[in-house]
A and B are shown apart, each in its own frame.
Chain A
């Protein structure tokens, strides 16, 4: 089975802190994605990556950056956390055309 592992299930941070969300997949997938999910808004794409050291902005990249130094690992960075970044963050991977996404279990981030 494909496994996408997110480092934390729940995370509480203070405004202004730098936050790292880690994601690791074990299926050698090329494509990795970071989404945030908010009630009534669905899943919105923050960043994605097709290959190591490659990144592309999604629909809502402001306030975020990413890093993909190894194929299996894709990190989401909140440079200076703000309260409006309180959300469920979902990492996903895919081998192919970005259609069949395998999601991690999510990180519920609260920024106080």
Chain B
């Protein structure tokens, strides 16, 4: 079974701080990695994708990928209360084209 693991949290950070969300995956052949955000009572939405080792920045969000360690992270700089949500890590594993495997999510609360 291909697995995606996340710390369920909850994770609380003060407004303006950096929030760090982590994810590990079991399939070494995985090539595509994603972060979805899900507000309470809403559906998930894609916020970041990363395919190569290193960092990818989009505004206040940075995704980091280390394939050797099978580790993906999401950094949120200058966290805002509106960032409070559950963040889902998702992976397309080798041999599973078009099938996303999701982690259980990390609940983030940004305190004003």
Chain A residues within CB distance 8 Å of chain B: 31, 35, 40-45, 48, 50, 58-59, 90, 94, 97-101, 103-106
Residues in A neighbouring B32, C-beta threshold 8 A: 97, 99
Q: Say yes or no: A31 contacts B98, CB within 8 Å.
A: yes
> Main SS of chain A's interface residues?
loop
Q: Does B78 contact A (CB under 8 A)?
A: no
Number of B interface residues, CB 8 Å? 23
Residues in B neighbouring A103, C-beta threshold 8 A: 43-45
Q: Say yes or no: B92 contacts A43, CB within 8 Å.
A: no
Q: How far in angstroms is the closest Cβ of chain B from A75?
A: 19
Q: Say yes or no: A45 contacts B99, CB within 8 Å.
A: yes
Q: Given the complex of chains A and B, what is the CA–CA distance between A99 and B92 in angstroms?
A: 8
